[in-house]
Amino acid sequence: MKQIHAVVWKEDKLYIAKALEVEVTSQGMTEKEGLENLKEALELYFEDQDNVELTNINNPKLQSLTL
C-alpha cells in the first residue's frame, strides 16, 4: 500500500486533484469526485508500472510565493 499526498484546487467549474509523489492529475465536478478520479488514475498508473520510485514527501505544507 502506498501513501500519496494530493493537492486540490478549483479551476473554473472543475476541481483539479494532483498527486505530489508522482506526476498524476485528475479532475471532477466536486472536490470529492476529483479525489476519487485521482485515486482511480493512480491505481491505473501503478498497474502499468513495475518499479515506481515515489518522491519522498513528509508533511507537505502549502505555501504561496509572489514573483
Q: What is the pLDDT of residue 8?
A: 97
Q: Give the phi and the psi of residue 47 in degrees, each rounded to 5.
A: -65, -35
- What's the pLDDT tens digit per position in 34-45? 999 999 999 999
Model confidence at 1: pLDDT above 80: no
Q: What does pTM read for this prediction?
A: 0.85
In a 10 Å sphere around its CB, with 0-12 CB exposed, 13-18 middle and 19+ buried, how is residue 8 labelled? Answer: middle
Which is more confidently placed, 9 or 2?
Answer: 9
Model confidence at 61: pLDDT above 80: yes
